[in-house]
Structure 1
Amino acid sequence: MSPSIVDLRSDTVSQPTAEMRARMATAIVGDDVYGEDPTINELEAKTAAIFGKEAGLFVPSGTMGNLLAIMVHCHKRGTEALVGDLSHVFLYEQGGASHLAGVQLATLKNEPDGTFSLAELRRRIRHDDYHEPITSLVVVENTHNICGGKVIPLAFLDELANLLRQPGVGCAPIALHMDGARVFNAAAALGVSVARICRDFDSVSICFSKGLSAPVGSVLVGSQRFISQARRLRKALGGGMRQAGILAAAGLVALEEVVPLLGKDHERTKRIANAIHHLQSPNITVDLDTVQSNILLIEIKRSELTASEFGERLAQVEHQELETGVTDKDGSGIILKASARDWAFARVVLYHQVDDEQVELAIKKLTYVIGQYDQRWPRL
């Protein structure tokens, strides 16, 4: 019998729902480059309204959404954007701001909660010195992926906006962009609207193909003027799509049916975290107090064990574990896929298709494998 596979590498492996597939099959479409795709127009307008912004733009990916925001806000040569040193836009978007937009990214040290020091930010803002680039943009990621799905506190966002709006800060107005790939998760965790979270931001990029389960696409929102400029630049980046309402239809279903359920993903993530915590392993742990959304970082405390090795073991089925009963209800083994690079932790991410049964399988596998390591290394 084939093993049961629980894939928790990322919420990007989520699948379109049955309703998404049905709506995609019957979507009314047109040429979006001409602005004539009614389904795309509906998704753009609906997303903008939810976020309290004037307009939206459907793009193929969150990476393109972030890049377009940088290009619009940093339109002059010799500009700089300030970003977190653990931010996705800095680490995992191929330096597109530099080699495509000609914008310098300067980093601020991310704190464990995903924020950064506002005092450091204030010091790093350039002034009217022609030796230096012009600070034109600050980017915030919310929720923060590499910090473990942390929800950025509203108080921090308010302070940040107030700082940048003070007279004399910078030699030109400084825009605020939110990489809101998982901002709906932040809203679910805080119990507030995404409009409140993004109230003071000039632009927001929202991903529909992660926890929202759509197959493709993000929406960039902002003012009419901002979106008009972004739409023009989207064409230059190859993002002008034609009858893409087929894709946008899934985004509409995501807003209607998946967003209200994100809290369930958070609850299931917490269940896995609690299970690991209760093992009291000296080798593999979690910090329960920092589990805030659908991302869980599993810390590897044993120096002899790497996150990659831990991930590889979770993806294997050994004969002994079958004999011990580490199986699904049909007696098949369990393969658990986790994300592990050169990190000091393994990452698991939950999403719409990970139900209670899969959570129990994941807990069963984690309990067994962590127990194996604890037998090998009973103490640090």
Structure 2
Amino acid sequence: MPDFRSDTVTQPTPAMREAMFKAPLGDDVFADDPSVNALQEHAAELLGFEAALFAPSGTQTNLIALWGHCQRGDEAIVGQSWHTYRWEAGGMAVLGSIQPQPVETQPDGTLRLADIAAAIKPDDPHFARTRLVVLENTTGGQVLPPEYVTEVAQLARQRGLALHLDGARLFNAATANAARRGTDVYQEARELCSHFDSVSVCLSKGLGAPVGSLVLGSAAFIRQARRTRKILGGGMRQAGLLAAAGHYALQHHVRRLAEDHANLHTLASGLRAVGESHPVLRGRITVHPWQTNILFTDVQADVAPAFTAWLAQHQIRVTSSLYGGQSRLRWVTHLDVNAADVQAALDCVARFTLPG
């Protein structure tokens, strides 16, 4: 049965495994692994940067980027719900001595321009020096509007600040923009990146590689990033086995993200219909708006334990957390969830009854 917990649970496809098996190898700490170099060069050209660096995780590539923009005691403006602030163990402060300045995330996933501007500190020895603004796209499956990203970039430039993008699911954002605007997904991804001094892109989420992320920026920035990666213990040797999977993913798994979005739309629409007609769940399940491959549903407390137990009993795996007195379930579609899996999940939900 399907695993909707995250798009990190995907398994390499047979073709990806073949690419990994055939990858020529070297020592990447010496910068002579040809497969790592090929991935980095391809990604940089694809997204419009001078250079890129392969690292084990998105947590590490974000930290590498933050460390590249900020010195000890400097400040980065982040969203309250951003991974760089909430979900990466406080790394910017613990390891980088960088002060996070969180700003409230709005319901649509944005940070208000006025809030960003108000958070920028004056040049005064009482304050940490504001150096960087961080955005996340997508955030909770929501896509930052391209026009909004342009406005944040203009504000950052006016105030002399660098701009970093946590683009773990950058290509999901690009896929949504391409569908809305009738453009090419690679063109949209490159355009999204054009506003940023650095970008972190995850290869092991929707793109389906087993391990790894990229940080992209100027050649000088990536030279320093390589040193920071070494400090953080992210230097790997024959890493081409992993890089080949990421390279394959960038070439072959970007356009198929549209399938994940379509499957999530089917799932969300079906769950919404359940909330309108199901004898038990009617009025007790709220389906939040969706845009890409991530969906949140809230289930009222009086039925939530039985409902989550029912899903688990039938091997439908989702993540669950308490939110406002209700259970919030997160559903994520990905490479290893197909249309039949979505229908099986909906059929299971339709059969749900209270015990006893």
TM interval, short-chain normalised:
over 0.9
| Equivalent residue number for residue 165 of structure 1 | 157
Matched, 1:356 2:352: no
From the superposition, tell whether residues 309 and 40 of structure 1 become closer, same or farther in structure 2 (CA, over 3 Å): farther
- Kept in 2, the 8 Å contact 1:32–1:240? The answer is yes
Structure 2 counterpart of 1:85, one-letter code? Q
| Equivalent residue number for residue 143 of structure 2 | 151
C-alpha distance in structure 2 between counterparts of 1:71 and 1:117, whole Å? 25
C-alpha distance in structure 2 between counterparts of 1:312 and 1:139, whole Å? 38
Matched, 1:77 2:57: no
| Equivalent residue number for residue 311 of structure 2 | 314
- Kept in 2, the 8 Å contact 1:142–1:152? The answer is yes
| Equivalent residue number for residue 283 of structure 1 | 284
Matched, 1:7 2:6: no
| Equivalent residue number for residue 26 of structure 2 | 30
Match among 329, 339, 344 for residue 346 of structure 1: 329
| Equivalent residue number for residue 17 of structure 2 | 21
Alpha-carbon deviation of 1:106? 1.3
From the superposition, tell whether residues 45 and 342 of structure 1 become closer, same or farther in structure 2 (CA, over 3 Å): same
Alpha-carbon deviation of 1:366? 2.1
| Equivalent residue number for residue 223 of structure 1 | 218
| Equivalent residue number for residue 161 of structure 2 | 174
- Kept in 1, the 8 Å contact 2:35–2:243? The answer is yes
Q: How does 1:114-193 map to 2 (within 5 A)?
A: 114-145=109-140, 149-166=141-158, 169=159, 173-191=160-178, 192=185, 193=188
State the Cα deviation string for residues 212-257 of structure 1 (Å, max 9, x = none). Answer: 1100000110110111111011000000101000001101110121
| Equivalent residue number for residue 233 of structure 1 | 228
- Kept in 1, the 8 Å contact 2:133–2:156? The answer is no
C-alpha distance in structure 2 between counterparts of 1:313 and 1:82, whole Å? 42
| Equivalent residue number for residue 279 of structure 2 | none
- Kept in 1, the 8 Å contact 2:72–2:96? The answer is no
Alpha-carbon deviation of 1:111? 0.9
Question: Can you give the 5+ residue segments of structure 1 that lack an aligned partner in the other structure?
Answer: 317-333
| Equivalent residue number for residue 50 of structure 1 | 46
- Kept in 2, the 8 Å contact 1:311–1:337? The answer is no
Q: Which secondary structure state, in structure 2, belongs to the residue aligned with residue 40 of structure 1?
A: helix
Structure 1 counterpart of 2:334, one-letter code? Y
Alpha-carbon deviation of 1:206? 0.5
Alpha-carbon deviation of 1:303? 3.8
Q: Which secondary structure state, in structure 2, belongs to the residue aligned with residue 152 of structure 1?
A: coil
Q: Which secondary structure state, in structure 2, belongs to the residue aligned with residue 12 of structure 1?
A: coil
C-alpha distance in structure 1 between counterparts of 2:306 and 2:29, whole Å? 47
C-alpha distance in structure 1 between counterparts of 2:162 and 2:339, whole Å? 42
Q: How does 1:268-307 map to 2 (within 5 A)?
A: 268-279=263-274, 280=276, 281-287=282-288, 290-300=289-299, 302-306=300-304
Alpha-carbon deviation of 1:311? 3.1
Q: Which secondary structure state, in structure 2, belongs to the residue aligned with residue 177 of structure 1?
A: strand
Q: Which secondary structure state, in structure 2, belongs to the residue aligned with residue 7 of structure 1?
A: coil
From the superposition, tell whether residues 337 and 139 of structure 1 become closer, same or farther in structure 2 (CA, over 3 Å): same
Alpha-carbon deviation of 1:112? 1.4
Larger Rg belongs to: 1
C-alpha distance in structure 1 between counterparts of 2:220 and 2:286, whole Å? 48
Give TM-score scaled by structure 1 length.
0.86
Alpha-carbon deviation of 1:367? 2.3
Moved over 6 A (4+): none
- Kept in 1, the 8 Å contact 2:85–2:100? The answer is yes
C-alpha distance in structure 2 between counterparts of 1:175 and 1:184, whole Å? 22
- Kept in 2, the 8 Å contact 1:286–1:299? The answer is yes
| Equivalent residue number for residue 59 of structure 1 | 55
Give TM-score scaled by structure 2 length.
0.92
State the Cα deviation string for residues 3-60 of structure 1 (Å, max 9, x = none). Answer: xx21100000011011111111111010001110011001001111111111000000
Matched, 1:87 2:82: yes
From the superposition, tell whether residues 44 and 123 of structure 1 become closer, same or farther in structure 2 (CA, over 3 Å): same
C-alpha distance in structure 2 between counterparts of 1:285 and 1:303, whole Å? 12
Structure 1 counterpart of 2:163, one-letter code? L
Alpha-carbon deviation of 1:309? 6.1
- Kept in 2, the 8 Å contact 1:295–1:348? The answer is yes
From the superposition, tell whether residues 180 and 309 of structure 1 become closer, same or farther in structure 2 (CA, over 3 Å): farther
C-alpha distance in structure 1 between counterparts of 2:301 and 2:321, whole Å? 15
